[in-house]
């Protein structure tokens, strides 16, 4: 499953990304909702 993570705290973003990647997911992580929205549109 492809998952987009938008989290401003870098440590939390990294932890969630590592966990989900280890569970077999494809993860894109960004620092805020505006960047997440741009990722969704591209």
Q: What is the pLDDT of residue 9?
A: 98
Report, as an integer, the average pLDDT of 19-31.
98
Token look-up 């077999």 returns: 24
Looking at the whole model, is its pTM more than 0.75? yes
Residue 28: pLDDT band with limits 50, 70, 90: very high
Give Cα separations from 38 to 7, 10, 15, 18, 22 (angstroms): 15, 19, 23, 22, 26
Which helix (H) or strand (E) segment holds residue 26: the answer is strand 26-30
- Phi, psi dihedrals of residue 8, rounded to the nearest 5°: -80, -20
Residue 35: pLDDT band with limits 50, 70, 90: very high
Question: What's the whole-number average pLDDT of the chain?
Answer: 97
Report, as an integer, the average pLDDT of 17-41.
98
């Amino acid at each position: 499953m492809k998952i987009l993570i938008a989290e401003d705290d870098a440590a939390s973003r990294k932890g969630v990304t590592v966990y989900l990647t280890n569970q077999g997911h494809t993860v894109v992580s960004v620092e805020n909702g505006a960047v997440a929205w741009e990722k969704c549109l591209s």
